[in-house]
Amino acid sequence: MANKPSIPKGTRDFGPTEMAKRNYIFETIRSVYALYGYQQIETPAMETLQTLMGKYGEEGDRLLFKILNSGDYFKSITDQELTERNTLKLQTKLCEKGLRYDLTVPFARYVVMHRDELQLPFKRYQIQPVWRADRPQKGRYREFYQCDADVIGSESLLNEVELMQIIDTVFTRFGIRVVIKINNRKILTGIAETIGEADKIITITTAIDKLEKIGKEKVNEELAQNGLSNEAINRLQPIIELQGSNNQKLDTIASVLAESETGKKGVDETQFILHTLENTGLKNEIQLDLTLARGLNYYTGAIFEVKAIDTEIGSITGGGRYDNLTGIFGMPGISGVGISFGADRIYDVLNTLNLYPNDSVSGTQILFTNFGTDETRYIMPIIATLRQAGIRTELYPDASKMKKQMTYANAKQIPFVAIAGADEIKNGEITLKNMLTGEQTTLSPTLLLSTLQKTPI
């Protein structure tokens, strides 16, 4: 007996209904991006490991899906190297490519390769899948879509303000209540300097970024294991526990970071963004969260993260400022800032809260029954006219029994069925059946079209 087929853990199939919902998500995000002047690009699913490695930190490198070289990939490996089982050394010889981990690094590579074709600042959006060799769990998948928007070639903080407006608009359209969290990596750098551990900024940000997941005690344990002194850990506690309004937090942290030029700059940038947003009519809360770190190493300024209020699912959008990401590809000094909507998590939130609009799953509006050659010859021009008018129309392909055709219409939740038999053909008419009420009416093809156009489906 053949093994039952399966898919890899952390991946999902999506049927027609699910795809209709996902397309609603993509089209909503795409339409908002277009409102703000963003243009769409795409990059390959595969990138060279030279492009990907070293851009996401040690954990990110570990989670990269690596692709075996084609052909005899063992030809450059010695027996001794196989016996030593040095994974890192072996993978550099066995694998030259990997699946993209996110869309930002490929975008930076794209900018460098196409620099002569681009008008800076360049505003792009990209909606494509990414892959991470993570442990699958609720809301965390190995294959998932990101919906990115980035501005590169501008240091203006108005870009950050605009991205916050995009986030607010998208989630308002979805009907999802969210809190938009903001912090600044310069503030975190200032904190590291103030507690006397400036050289451990990556260790500190990586640890406190897990605060919500593992709790303060575990974070402190991780900090101690990575070499932070007890004094530094104790000095960090009141900062990460800071409460109050955004302005109160800013005032307090500005005082704490008074001796750090980098920290003060982070406070000033955050203050500008928050104050500018006050007059833009946002529908969702903006919250300064000094524990927000965003684990990716390339962030250098403002960082963002979005959480749904009415369901527990983790971050559903994130992003931030990166000052020199293109520098690693030979194009230094180009600043950028971007956000990424997690389409798969948004999909789960919309399902959990039942927030999809009725017309988001736009199936067939009318099914024409099939009784044979003469009947189909009669209805084909009518079907063509309905489709030209934008009515989603199906013809049942086989001349089957009426019960089978009606069962098909019910299974697909098609609201109307059109019937054309000998009497209808003789009189130049169509019988229209409302599948919800069971009511039947006989109409001319012209009246059929106008009836369907007036009926909200």
Q: Which residues are annotated as a binding site for L-histidine?
A: 102-104, 132, 146, 150, 294, 298-299
Q: Per the annotation, where are the binding residues?
A: 102-104, 132, 146, 150, 294, 298-299
CA nearest 306: which of 290, 321, 287?
A: 287
HEC string for the chain: CCCCCCCCCCCCCCCHHHHHHHHHHHHHHHHHHHHCCCEECCCCCEEEHHHHCCCCHHHHHHCCCEEECCCCCCCCCCHHHHHHCCHHHHHHHHEEEEECCCCHHHHHHHHHHCHHHCCCCEEEEEEEEEECCCCCECCECCEEEEEEEEEECCCCCHHHHHHHHHHHHHHHHHCCCEEEEEEEHHHHHHHHHHCCCHHHHHHHHHHHCCHHHHHHHHHHHHHHHCCCCHHHHHHHHHHHCCCCCHHHHHHHHHHHCCCCHHHHHHHHHHHHHHHHHCCCCCCCEEEECCCCCCCCCCCCCEEEEEEECCCCCCEEEEEEEECCHHHHHCCCCCCEEEEEEEHHHHHHHHHHHCCCCHHHCCCCCEEECCCCHHHHHHHHHHHHHHHHCCCCEEECCCCCCHHHHHHHHHHCCCCEEEECCHHHHHHCCEEEEECCCCCEEEECHHHHHHHHHHCCC
